[in-house]
Amino acid sequence: MEKAYQIAKYNLHACFEGRGIVASPEHFCDYWARDSFFASWGLLELGDYNRVKSNLNLYVEHQTKGGQIPRRIDRFYVTLSYFGIRIKRKTSKATRLGAHFYPALDPNLLFIITACKYVTKTNDHEFLRTNFEAIYKAIQWLEKYEQDSLLKEGVLANWMDTVLKSGSVLYTNVLYAEALKCFFNISSMLGRSNLTEFYAQKYQRIIKTINEKFWNGNYYSDWITHGKKYDFFSTDGNVLAMLFEISNQEQNRQIIKHIEKFRLDEIPMKTNHPSYPSWRVVFWMYLRGTPKYQNNGASWLWLGSVYAVALNKNDYKKKAERIHEKTATKIEEYKTVFETYATNGAPYKGWFWKGTPSFAWSSGLFLWADKLIS
């Protein structure tokens, strides 16, 4: 375990370049919001507060006047980077859409959550006072996409940006619930009682709505579009619901039962069950030879780490340790933290693409899990 910890720590520190956290120094060498914010949770557990603060400030500087946090801040020409050609831009460029036409919502959500984690961990109230308006604008910008207490998004707009789904997506709305909770806590720290009360009420409404609309008796459904519920099991939203205490103990038991029944907790965590139909996977994933990348055919360490912490938090300590040890074994085997792994345990790859090593997102969440489970 100690060896895996040191490898992940080295990988994560190597991903801090300039003023922020890149997704990976070897492939995704730009600042990706969701990668850097999730990775920040590990840096906070290491006590690397200045790096987290610097990364948050970087995204504040690139926030629009309306409050949108960019999905990515490009240091290089990203498309060329996929082919191993690295040409640096003269000035950084903010990318705000998801994989195609619609805005990504989770950068705003993760910015709010991570800012709250930073302030809670450090008691840096000067940072909070300086950046409160940016955090407030970030939550207000999200409200444009809210309908009936849930966020609605377009296709390819969240982290799973190779699978066609839209509307009210579980992953996004579970993060929204946590962001609302974080925001009313932040408001309370500054004595903003009106905002605290308003957003505490919004938080209670979304918790109720998620449980009423997404829970299908066995787990939370993947997404809802035009009133139709898509009952795929999405690992991301279900394990985050456990982590953020959206689900109760009986619901947790059902979620765990489903994960174990279909062996989703392997190497250490698959994305979904059953597989999405082939037409829901974007065509370029077939060209790259990686159609299972986010479709029940690859295993993601970040999901395993979230699941391990969620299990531990809900008193499934032995199960949590088993998942965490499985992750550590995989890191030690390849002496780095890869982005994804195939079902045979090897790093996931296609004809023209392979999962990146030294992956910040998974490195950070492994370290975060290690501190919380130990």
Task: Read off the pLDDT of residues 297-320 as tens digits, 9 standing for 90 and up.
Answer: 999 999 999 999 999 999 999 999
How confident is the model at residue 73, as a pLDDT? 87
Percentage of the chain exceeding pLDDT 70: 95
Residue 220 lies in a domain: yes
What are the E-state strand segments in the chain? 16-17, 20-21, 31-32, 72-76, 88-95, 146-147, 150-151, 168-169, 221-225, 228-234, 272-273, 298-300, 340-342
Residue 275 lies in a domain: yes
pLDDT averaged over every residue in the chain: 93
Residue 338 lies in a domain: yes
How confident is the model at residue 85, as a pLDDT? 59
Which amino acid appears at position 160 of this protein? M
Q: How confident is the model over 49-56, as a mean pLDDT?
A: 98
For residue 192, what are the domain limits? 2-19+33-70+99-373
Taking 80 as the threshold, does the pLDDT of residue 128 lie above it?
A: yes
**Tens-digit pLDDT profile for residues 326-363:** 999 999 999 999 999 998 899 998 877 777 889 999 99
Q: How many helices (H) does the chain have, and how many strands (E)?
A: 14, 13
**Tens-digit pLDDT profile for residues 250-274:** 999 999 999 999 999 988 899 999 9
Pair 199, 134: CB distance under 8 Å: no
Residue 240 lies in a domain: yes
Q: What is the 3-state secondary structure (H, E, C) of 81-147?
A: HCCCCCCEEEEEEEECECCCCCECCHHHHHHHHHHHHHHHHHCCHHHHHHHHHHHHHHHHHHHHHEE
Taking 80 as the threshold, does the pLDDT of residue 175 lie above it?
A: yes
Q: How confident is the model over 199-223, as a mean pLDDT?
A: 98
Confidence category of residue 28, pLDDT binned at 50, 70, 90: confident
What are the E-state strand segments in 140-277? 146-147, 150-151, 168-169, 221-225, 228-234, 272-273
Q: What is each CA distance from 176 to 63, 247, 257, in whole angstroms?
A: 18, 15, 26
Which amino acid appears at position 268 of this protein? P
Q: How many domains does the chain have?
A: 1
More confident residue, 284 or 97: 284
DSSP summary character for residue 348: P
DSSP summary character for residue 275: P
Burial class of residue 164 in the structure, from the number of CB atoms within 10 Å of its CB (0-12 exposed, 13-18 middle, 19+ buried): middle
Residue 362 lies in a domain: yes
Pair 267, 333: CB distance under 8 Å: no
Taking 80 as the threshold, does the pLDDT of residue 29 lie above it?
A: no
Distance of CA 263 to the CA centre of its chain: 22
Q: How confident is the model over 63-90, as a mean pLDDT?
A: 73
More confident residue, 107 or 24: 107
Q: How confident is the model over 178-202, as a mean pLDDT?
A: 97
How confident is the model at residue 90, as a pLDDT? 61
If phi > 0 it is left, if psi is from -120 to 50 it is alpha, else beta; for residue 115 that is alpha
Residue 196 lies in a domain: yes
Residue 236 lies in a domain: yes
More confident residue, 232 or 26: 232
CATH number of the domain that residue 276 is part of: 1.50.10.10
Name the residue with tokens 């989703």. Answer: 264
Three-state DSSP at 7 gives: helix
Taking 60 as the threshold, does the pLDDT of residue 34 lie above it?
A: yes
How confident is the model at residue 71, as a pLDDT? 94
How confident is the model at residue 101, as a pLDDT? 81
Instruction: Enter the tokens of residue 78.
Output: 């990203």
How confident is the model at residue 312, as a pLDDT? 98
How confident is the model at residue 279, as a pLDDT? 97
Distance of CA 129 to the CA centre of its chain: 26
How confident is the model at residue 328, as a pLDDT? 97
Residue 78 lies in a domain: no
Name the residue with tokens 């030879």. Answer: 289
Taking 70 as the threshold, does the pLDDT of residue 10 lie above it?
A: yes
How confident is the model at residue 338, as a pLDDT? 94
Give the end-to-end CA distance of the chain in Å, rounded to a whole number: 10
